[in-house]
């Protein structure tokens, strides 16, 4: 496929596309039909013979109730088993919070668009609620449980004071699946094109690798961000990790109060199909030495999680280990040191010890993929780093001399789509702009890169099935690492292009 090849929309399953798009058309349909009808025994005035015929009088059509607290910023994720649960999060303005609900049910065979929009919902869940950081609004969260893995889910959220449109979430596939990845999103025209492009591709879920809204302390920016994201995030789950710009919103509180992710902390792992994912903060929320305990706890959690995943892979229970965070470990962005030495010390040796297959990152506003690598050198048994920092925020520049660990790098806005099919992950990266970084017309997408990763063989997987190390073994210099991480974050906050120390 050439770099100028455009998106072949017919390749997407038509039924899947219809299910994912029906939500956009439901706003014009009534959610509950309640029409009055006259009794068949009611008297009807007969017209005078030969006189004009007039229609029988009809009862007035009732006005729909005014939505005083309409839901907004709706976005899906999961906080539990991805095959049988979905979590919905949304906002209402003001500080008043009536009981709000998630109503849901399966999309049954034979349902048409009208059925999906108007049929009664068999299940209802009361939402939890909390104050939204930095604005007068309430964050509502509810989880749909006991979902049939092979059926799409139709749902709406709200209360007696306002309901959302009905949306459809895809079923959790058994076998092959696709997901999108990008970071550094913001609110530009390219940000909107990325949302539209992913929606058109209709993957099973999406990953945002940090730096979502770029509110940078201005909390109402988050409102506009979720309004932009809703056409995508209401129709497929979006999983995220925090970036350094999330730290500017109350040390991450703006992010935490608006998103629902697994676990009690800002890092977490889960399985989807035969892939194990782990999402890390990469130390992005560390503010001074006060966060030393949390950072040490996260590193120990990563060590234990990846050790278990490597053992399960050696047993044949999973095929791949994918690690997600905001920061790059190595980069060809001009103005940054090629190595983020804090993350080399913090994480790279853990990723290599347990044979992580793929590292998905953002942060550097470029597109780049590495060869299998380790410590800044090509290495056949290393990990592949995929930097997709062109989610919409202003692009940066590339260095003149690309290092030999880098397989391909360019300056384009866009996203990557990863298809997991048995023992292969096929990656296609799309641009929403042309070579001069001008927006493409009419939602056009252009392929800029394609490659694939094969699962490790039995012997190779066995070599990474190693026991988790103790805190003393893993973190002998944790105090120095914490100081270095805190200084890195402070310098980055002071100037986006200061080199790493």
The band of 33, judged by pLDDT with boundaries at 50, 70 and 90, is very low
Mean pLDDT of 490-494: 69
Q: Using alpha carbons, list the distances in angstroms from residue 451 to 1, 423, 448.
A: 11, 14, 11
User: What architecture is domain 1-27+67-172?
Assistant: Sandwich (2.60)
User: What pLDDT, in 10s, does the model give residues 333-360?
Assistant: 998 889 888 888 889 999 999 999 999 9
Q: Residue 499 and residue 469: Cα distance in Å, rounded?
A: 32
Task: Give the residue extent of every domain in the chain.
Answer: 1-27+67-172, 174-494
Asked whether residue 456 carries a pLDDT value surpassing 70, the answer given is yes
Q: Residue 292 and residue 481: Cα distance in Å, rounded?
A: 9
Q: Residue 157 and residue 264: Cα distance in Å, rounded?
A: 24
Q: Residue 191 and residue 225: Cα distance in Å, rounded?
A: 10
User: What pLDDT, in 10s, does the model give residues 278-288?
Assistant: 999 998 988 76
Asked whether residue 41 carries a pLDDT value surpassing 80, the answer given is no
Q: Are strands 358-361 and 137-144 parallel, antiparallel or unpaired?
A: unpaired
Smallest Cα–Cα separation from 234: which of 60, 27, 450? 27
Asked whether residue 74 carries a pLDDT value surpassing 70, the answer given is yes
Mean pLDDT of 419-425: 97
Asked whether residue 247 carries a pLDDT value surpassing 70, the answer given is yes
pLDDT given at position 485? 79
Half-sphere exposure of 166 (CA within 13 A, CB side): 27
pLDDT given at position 355? 98
The string over 162-178, giving b where at least 16 C-beta atoms fall within 10 Å of a residue's C-beta and e elsewhere, is: bbbbbbbbbbbbeeebb
Asked whether residue 459 carries a pLDDT value surpassing 90, the answer given is yes
The band of 496, judged by pLDDT with boundaries at 50, 70 and 90, is low
Six-digit token string for 393: 């925020």
CATH class given for the domain over 174-494: alpha beta
The band of 43, judged by pLDDT with boundaries at 50, 70 and 90, is very low
pLDDT given at position 63? 54
* Fold matches, 1-27+67-172 and 174-494: no
The string over 360-389, giving b where at least 16 C-beta atoms fall within 10 Å of a residue's C-beta and e elsewhere, is: bbbbbbbbbbbbbbbebeeeeebbbbbbbb
- In 273-357, the DSSP E strands lie at 275-279, 320-324
Chain centroid offset of residue 362 CA = 13
Mean pLDDT of 255-275: 96
Mean pLDDT of the chain: 87
- CA dihedral of 355, 361, 365, 368, whole degrees rounded to 10: 30
* Cβ burial, residue 196 (10 Å; 0-12/13-18/19+): middle
Asked whether residue 39 carries a pLDDT value surpassing 50, the answer given is no
Residues in a beta bridge with 333? 398
């Amino acid at each position: 496929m050439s770099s100028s090849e455009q998106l072949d929309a017919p390749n997407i399953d038509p039924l899947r596309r219809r299910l994912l798009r029906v939500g956009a058309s439901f706003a014009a349909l009534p959610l509950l039909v309640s029409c009055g009808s006259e009794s068949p025994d009611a008297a009807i005035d007969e017209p005078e013979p030969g006189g004009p015929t007039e229609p029988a009088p009809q009862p007035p059509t009732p006005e729909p109730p005014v939505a005083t607290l309409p839901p907004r910023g709706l976005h899906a994720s999961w906080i539990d088993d991805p095959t049988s649960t979905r979590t919905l999060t949304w906002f209402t303005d003001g500080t008043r919070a009536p009981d709000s609900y998630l109503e849901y049910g399966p999309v049954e065979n034979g349902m048409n668009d009208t059925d999906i929009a108007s049929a009664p919902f068999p299940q209802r869940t009361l939402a939890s609620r909390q104050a939204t950081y930095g604005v007068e609004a309430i964050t509502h969260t509810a989880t749909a449980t006991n979902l049939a893995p092979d059926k799409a889910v139709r749902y709406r959220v709200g209360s007696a004071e306002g309901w959302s449109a009905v949306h459809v979430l895809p079923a959790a596939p058994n076998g092959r699946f696709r997901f999108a990845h990008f970071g550094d999103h913001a609110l530009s025209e390219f940000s909107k094109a990325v949302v539209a492009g992913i929606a058109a591709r209709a993957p099973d879920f999406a990953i945002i690798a940090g730096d979502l809204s770029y509110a940078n302390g201005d909390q109402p920016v988050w409102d506009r961000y979720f309004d932009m994201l809703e056409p995508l995030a209401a129709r497929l789950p979006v999983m995220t990790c925090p970036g350094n710009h999330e730290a500017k919103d109350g040390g991450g509180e703006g992010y935490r109060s608006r998103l629902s992710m697994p676990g009690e902390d800002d890092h977490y792992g889960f399985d989807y199909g035969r892939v194990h994912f782990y999402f890390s903060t990469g130390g992005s929320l560390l503010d001074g030495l006060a966060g030393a305990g949390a950072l040490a706890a996260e590193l120990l959690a990563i060590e234990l999680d990846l050790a278990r995943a490597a053992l399960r892979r050696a047993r044949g229970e999973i095929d791949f280990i994918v690690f997600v965070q905001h920061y790059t470990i190595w980069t060809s962005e001009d103005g940054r040191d090629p190595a983020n030495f804090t993350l080399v010390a913090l994480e790279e040796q853990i990723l290599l010890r347990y044979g992580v297959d793929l590292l998905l990152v953002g942060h550097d506003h470029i597109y780049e993929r590495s060869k299998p690598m380790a410590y800044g050198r090509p290495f056949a048994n290393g990990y592949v780093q995929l930097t997709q920092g062109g989610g919409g925020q202003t692009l940066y520049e590339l260095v003149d001399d690309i290092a030999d660990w880098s397989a391909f790098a360019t300056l384009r806005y866009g996203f990557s789509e990863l298809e997991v099919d048995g023992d292969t992950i096929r990656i296609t990266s799309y641009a929403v702009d042309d070579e001069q970084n001008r927006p493409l017309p009419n939602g056009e997408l252009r392929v800029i890169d394609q490659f694939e990763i094969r699962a490790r063989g039995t012997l190779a997987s066995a070599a990474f099935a190693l026991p988790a190390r103790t805190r003393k073994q893993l973190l002998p210099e944790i105090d120095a690492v914490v100081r270095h991480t805190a200084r890195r974050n402070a310098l980055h906050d002071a100037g986006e292009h200061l080199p790493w120390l």
